[in-house]
Structure 1
Amino acid sequence: GGANQAAMKEVFEVSEDIFSAMVTVDVLVAELWMAFLLIGVAKRKNIDRAFKADATAVDSLQNKMEAYTASIAKVTSFNDLIFILALAFGATGLAHWMSDGIAPFIAENYPVLSKFSLTSGFFWLVVIATTIGITLSFTKARNLEGAGASKVGSVFIYILVATIGMSMNVMEIFHNPGLFGVGLVWMIIHVGLMFLVAKIIRAPYFFLAVGSKANIGGAASAPVVAAAFHPALAPVGVLLAVLGYALGTYGAYICGLLMQASVGVY
């Protein structure tokens, strides 16, 4: 997703030109795939039949989500919004405070770890904020979803996406056409693996489509794909996207280290 992409830009100190080109690749390739996913929604019964998938699992999930949403739904009050924002900004502030202490400490005492970006304050900011969010999901704070927590979060996600988009230069792709090829190769591998695994485990098309978009699109687009199946399933897209963000932060960091090692940066 774009959030992970922006985080890795700061961690690995990527130039603005390269980042601008990669944002363009991300938008063009990922959204092209999203179009195919949405087309597939109308043909999901045929796809499920080809996968020999039991779609009753999706129906069961839909019923559970409708029941869960109804059980926690409430009229959002001013206090609810303040509490949601207080948790969000409080967690972010705590992450800033901790990263401002951890990064300099490592830089001073363990400078050799700089090659792993562990002296980057932004790296620790993202990791700590992500960890706090995951931890809160196991507490009663998760009930704030009934007051619209994910909707408030979506507002900030769209602000982030807009901010990233402002740095996009479509013409930059013509200066680095190879990057577009790299993006297509990545997407072909992703799509191939998704269909292969879905076929092997006989997964319904819903899980393939939403899981794929949560992996490469994030919270801005995964709920759209999920809602195309049924509005009650939109929260599933949000949850999978958040999981994708969490895992993507760590996965992208490890991937970045492996890529650096492959070209002998170390």
Structure 2
Amino acid sequence: MITTGIGFLAFIVAFTALVLYLAKKFPLKLYKFFPPILIIYVGTMLLYTFGMWTMTEEIKAVKTALVNNMVPAMVFLMCITCNIKKILRMGPKLLFTFLAATFTICVGFVVSYAIFGGALNHPADAFGAVCASWVGGIQNFLAVSSSLGVEGDILSNVILMININYSFWILILVAIGSLAPRFNKWAKADVSAIEDISKKLDGDTAEKKPFDHLNVLVVLGISLVAVYICRLLANIAPNLGFIDASVWEYIFISVVGLALGMTKLGDLPAVDVISEVMLMLTLTLLATEINILQIADAWLYILAGALILVIHAVLMLPLAKLSHLDLHSCGVASIANIGGPSSAPIVAATYGKSFVSIGVLMGTLGCVIGTFVGLAVAQILRMI
């Protein structure tokens, strides 16, 4: 049984690395629908449940310090990689398709919360965090859940809600790809411009640069300085309704990161690698105090999530008909919201090569707006 801070940190890092190593060494098809990040989360819960460590004051202090500083640094680095100029090159129709998917997902959250909120003891902030994830990605979820104080069993329930529904959704989107000709005929969709847009976007894609220890130190230094400055500003910013210091911190971090992403800092090597390491370790740490035997309401959260996706799909149909949107663009926009930039290219590739770069940029756009949408939806749900 682990009771010291250094022992706890050593085990968490080693366990996370082991799961990722095995996933890379043995690339099973299972990982497409049950990703390593979920295996790490559930595995950590099981290890805590069966007594691998005790949450002593020393361990709690280590965990709190790491999470409170790693999450905003990670959000900052992921925002730096979001080049807004490239996103705008998708054109108005593809941008509309993505935002239509975002809007219908938000409507789904409002309706689902109105139905299930009472039975779930009104977890408005938790639903807002899930909305941030289903518009952007897991980094947006962490930003909103941290700023709104979502933790404990509720945090575990909503993570299961996210991942289980996501796994089924990606299967559905891949399966319906063959229906595109009939759907496009029904919607009177013109798909001739898709390949032209894709070629233009592919021309903007730059190869990843190699990096060394200096690049790593520069990226870490910039991210930590940004967190320090934004936290200072957040502490002196006025409270405006639900926007307190913790919320201001993530707003400032996101805005500064997006602004710097349009400069040469957006091309810094090692940013992706460092932010991914922070993401994996943060998710592992969040699961270290969750007893899996105490998760009583997860099934209801999963059902609420399924209803959100059904409402999203149903509302997208008339929008596609009225705006003449093709099925593949709608599918890519949907998974770019629900799954984020890591999943969008996977589904897009099953539709055709021309959709891959579009999926990447749609997923990136979700990362840009996800935190703000999640905070706004949480506020709306609080009023229900």
TM-score bin (small chain): 0.7 to 0.9
User: TM-score, normalised to structure 1's length?
Assistant: 0.76
Q: C-alpha deviations, 1:167-214, integer Å up to 9, x for none? A: 388766653433222212211222222232122111122221111112
Q: How does 1:59-78 map to 2 (within 5 A)?
A: 59-69=195-205, 72-73=206-207, 76-78=209-211
Q: CA–CA distance in 1 between the matches of 2:253 and 2:227?
A: 8
Q: 2:232 aligns with which of 101, 106, 112?
A: 101
Q: CA–CA distance in 2 between the matches of 1:25 and 1:35?
A: 16
Is 1:128 aligned with 2:231?
A: no
> What residue is the counterpart of 1:215 in the other structure?
337
> What residue is the counterpart of 2:361 in the other structure?
239
Unmatched tracts of structure 1, length 5 or more: none
Q: 1:20 aligns with which of 156, 159, 173?
A: 156
Is 1:184 aligned with 2:184?
A: no
What code does the residue aligned with 2:245 have?
Answer: T
Q: C-alpha deviations, 1:25-70, integer Å up to 9, x for none? A: 111112211111111233323332232211112221222233333x
> What residue is the counterpart of 1:156 in the other structure?
275
Q: C-alpha deviations, 1:48-104, integer Å up to 9, x for none? A: 2232211112221222233333xx44x73447x965x57754553243122321232
- Quick check: 228-237 or 203-212, which moved more? 228-237
1:43 match: secondary structure? helix
Asked whether the 8 Å contact 2:173–2:331 carries over to 1, the reply is yes
Q: CA–CA distance in 1 between the matches of 2:156 and 2:230?
A: 27
Asked whether the 8 Å contact 1:157–1:220 carries over to 2, the reply is no
Q: CA–CA distance in 2 between the matches of 1:218 and 1:197?
A: 22
Q: CA–CA distance in 1 between the matches of 2:319 and 2:273?
A: 30
Structure 1 residues 185, 78: CA separation in 2 closer, same or farther (over 3 Å shift)? closer
> What residue is the counterpart of 1:5 in the other structure?
141
CA-CA distance at 1:242 after TM superposition:
1.9
Q: CA–CA distance in 2 between the matches of 1:251 and 1:244?
A: 10
Q: CA–CA distance in 2 between the matches of 1:154 and 1:230?
A: 28
Asked whether the 8 Å contact 1:210–1:237 carries over to 2, the reply is yes
Q: CA–CA distance in 2 between the matches of 1:161 and 1:42?
A: 35
User: TM-score, normalised to structure 2's length?
Assistant: 0.55
State the identity as a percent: 24
Q: Which runs of structure 1 show a deviation greater than 4 angstroms over 4 or more consecutive aligned residues?
A: 85-88, 168-174
Asked whether the 8 Å contact 2:332–2:344 carries over to 1, the reply is yes
Q: CA–CA distance in 2 between the matches of 1:211 and 1:161?
A: 25
- Quick check: 199-208 or 128-137, which moved more? 128-137
Q: CA–CA distance in 1 between the matches of 2:281 and 2:189?
A: 38
- Quick check: 131-140 or 179-188, which moved more? 131-140
Structure 1 residues 189, 247: CA separation in 2 closer, same or farther (over 3 Å shift)? same
CA-CA distance at 1:22 after TM superposition:
0.5
Q: How does 1:76-91 map to 2 (within 5 A)?
A: 76-78=209-211, 88-91=219-222
Q: How does 1:110-121 map to 2 (within 5 A)?
A: 110=238, 113=239, 115-120=241-246
Q: Which has a greater percent of helix?
A: 1
Q: CA–CA distance in 2 between the matches of 1:29 and 1:137?
A: 32
Q: CA–CA distance in 2 between the matches of 1:21 and 1:239?
A: 30
> What residue is the counterpart of 1:254 in the other structure?
376
> What residue is the counterpart of 2:189 in the other structure?
53
Structure 1 residues 53, 125: CA separation in 2 closer, same or farther (over 3 Å shift)? same
Unmatched tracts of structure 2, length 5 or more: 1-132
